[in-house]
Structure 1
Amino acid sequence: MLSILIPIYNYNAYSLVLELHKQCTDCGINFEIISIDDASTQQKSKNKPIQFLTNCFFVELFENIGRSKIRNLLASMSNYEWLLYVDCDTFPKNSDFISNYISQINLSDKKVFFGGIVYTKDKPENDRLLRWIFGQEREAIPLSERKRNPYKTAFVSNILIKKTVFDIFSFDEKITNYGYEDFAFIQTLKLENIDIEHIENPVSHLNLETSSVFLLKTKTALETLLFISKTNSKVEIESKIIKTHKILCALKFNLFIAKLFQKLQVRLEHHLTSEKPSLLVFDCYKIGYFCYLNRK
């Protein structure tokens, strides 16, 4: 019936697994929960009790293999016809999370379902505001809007996929660093005309990294985007960052933007790690850094 797949890195996922285990048991379905720790440097011992829960499996890797490869590895270990990917730093918002997905499987002929993401309404500490604001505005998208843009608004942090689909279209293992592996996978589904059915069945995103860490991860993601844009036309066609960069190149503004970014980088980062970060400034920061990466 259902294989729940959880990639873990530097996070205590035991309470998540315990909740999913309870919900699956209450539904009376055949299930398994497979968790793989991708060579974490923190929280390692806290996840080991997962292996003592019935139908749960915990594997600890001693070398980091990256976000694409670990998701493919999880799928290769699965035994059931439906795969539910859940990020380790999320938690089902409702106690009927699993039963909602089971209902969709029984009622619909779709092969991919996305339940959505929500963030807490409580304002976090000032040094974590950028990630929270970004999540609220760019990831916690209402169902009506998600249905209008099904590929643009889907993420793999809470996605149910029929295994026959994943056997054909897996994650791109050339993407070894952080960022855009989920975007590339979703665009593959789009180009192959595989519908994503959006439903109201969210997980809450729990892990708010500091604004400084989020900026570093954003820069790594943009470096990854540059790498995969050279080999993956699906990403190049759909990425707003790449489209904007091409327009700037056509207007011969790209080198100017790259130089301007170098001059303003410290000031931009100071603003983005402040008490009032702006997503408009964040967008400018991203295109500026991407122009800087492409300056040669």
Structure 2
Amino acid sequence: MLSILIPIYNYNALPLVKELQKQCMLNGIVYEIICQDDASKSPLNKINEEINLLDNCFFISLENNVAHRQNRNLLAKKAKFKWLLFIDGDSKIIQSNYIQNYLENCIGFDVIYGGRQHPEKCPSKQQKLRWKYGKYIEDKIVSKRKLTPFKSLLFNNTLIKKSIFDRVEFDKEIKLYGHDDTQFSYELSKLNVKINHIDNPILHEDIDNNACYLKKVEESLKSALLLYYNKKLDSNFISIVKLYVFLKKTKLIYLVQLFFILSKSLLKKQILSKNPSLFLFNLYRIGYISTLKIGK
């Protein structure tokens, strides 16, 4: 009935798998849990190998890195049941009725998203930027997610029919980090599938440090523009691309570029500090995307 698919990269997924297995058994369902490490060659995989000792649980370590999108595609191809539940390996189950919640809320829907939470307290000052953005921007309550059901869909912690996933899949041609969820959700919106948002969050545990996260954000902005210029994403589906298109049409982009060139070092210094401003972070993102040499 349920295939739980867990992409991993250099992370100990054994506690996550044990909790999921326990809940599946308590609910008396037919299940499988498949974990796949994306060629991290991590010493933690010695621990992950123990997953293979658990009933209906499997751990696979890829020889060659395929990136996050293709890792999910390969997991889906290995799955044998009607429903696919995708959970990233660095997640933690925080509700004892997590599996039950999905079972009770999937009837009549094609896709169900449970949401995500970040820790109440930031683990360290060096992780403040990622933690702030996650907690105050990405962690949306159900009522807000339902206002824009497709745009609010993050694929970590999503239950989807295998028949629907197989019609879309993740775009393996794009190798850059970021906006794989956005593109997938956009394709789902064109299929007019029935999506449900529920209050069934997982905890995001592995929080990037400030410098690492900023690098990922810059790469994700490049990815967003590539998707737009390759006609794989409508500009209205992602707010920063919509703003970018507006700035280009009105020629205001030249003022933004000038502002960013003059202020980039100061903005970067502040958002990499121990108390980053999300407002200045958004200014940095707008300025950065305006200077990218992608498309026309």
TM-score by length of 2: 0.95
Q: Secondary structure at 1:234's aligned position in 2?
A: coil
Map of 1:13 onto structure 2: 13
1:283 aligned onto 2:282: yes
For 1:41-120, list aligned pairs within 5 A: 41-42=41-42, 43-105=44-106, 108-120=107-119
Corresponding residue number in structure 2 for 1:139: 138
Q: The residue matched to 1:167 in structure 2 has which SS?
A: helix
Q: Percent identity?
A: 37
Which residue of 2 is the match for residue 30 of structure 1? Answer: 30
Verify the 8 A CA contact 1:86 1:158 in the aligned structure 2. yes
Give the drift of 1:235. Answer: 4.2
Determine if the alignment matches structure 1 residue 157 to structure 2 residue 129: no
Deviations 1:120-151 (A, max 9, x none): 11233111111111011122111111122211
Deviation at 1:260, TM superposition (A): 2.7
In structure 1, what is the equivalent of residue 264 of structure 2? 265
State the match for 1:173 in structure 2: 172
User: In the aligned structure 2, how far is the partner of 1:175 from the partner of 1:15?
Assistant: 32
Aligned residues: 294
Q: Which amino acid aligns with 1:57?
A: F
Q: Secondary structure at the match of 2:159?
A: strand
2:183 corresponds in structure 1 to 184
Alignment RMSD, CA only?
1.5
User: Given that residues 39 and 64 in structure 2 are in contact (C-alpha distance below 8 angstroms), is that contact kept between their aligned partners in structure 1?
Assistant: yes
2:153/2:181 contact within 8 Å kept? no
In the TM superposition, what is the alpha-carbon distance from 1:95 to its structure 2 partner?
0.9
Q: Please report how far the alpha carbon of residue 237 of structure 1 lies from its aligned counterpart in structure 2 after TM superposition.
A: 3.7
| Structure 2 counterpart of 1:125 | 124
- Residues in 1 aligned to 2:232 and 2:70: alpha-carbon distance in whole angstroms: 20
**Inter-partner Cα distance in structure 2 for 1:151 and 1:85:** 17
Q: Which residue of 1 aligns with 2:194?
A: 195
Partner deviation per Cα, 1:190-233 (whole Å, 9 max, x = no partner): 12211210011110111111111100111111121222222234
Query: Which secondary structure does the structure 2 equivalent of 1:131 belong to?
Result: helix
Which consecutive aligned stretches of 4+ in structure 1 deviate over 4 angstroms post-superposition? none
Matches within 5 A, 1:212-227: 212-227=211-226
Contact 1:27 1:99 in 2 (8 A): yes
Moved more, 115-124 or 2-11: 115-124
Q: Conserved in 2, the CA contact under 8 Å of 1:248 and 1:254?
A: yes
Q: Is contact 1:146–1:198 with CA below 8 Å preserved after alignment?
A: yes
Contact 1:112 1:160 in 2 (8 A): yes
User: Structure 1: any 5+ residue segments left out of the alignment?
Assistant: none
TM-score scaled by structure 1? 0.95
Say which SS state the counterpart of residue 293 (structure 1) adopts. Answer: coil
2:233 matched to 1:238?
no
Supply the distance in 2 between the matched residues of 1:262 and 1:249 (Cα, whole angstroms): 17
The question of whether the paired residues in 2 share the 8 Å contact of 1:189 and 1:195 is answered with no
Within 1, Cα distance between the matches of 2:235 and 2:288?
17
Paired amino acid for 2:133: F
SS in structure 2 of the partner of residue 155 of structure 1: coil
Amino acid at match of 2:62: L
- Tell me how far apart the structure 2 counterparts of residues 236 and 66 of structure 1 sit (CA, whole Å): 25
Displacement of 1:41 in angstroms is 4.6
Q: CA deviation at 1:184?
A: 0.3
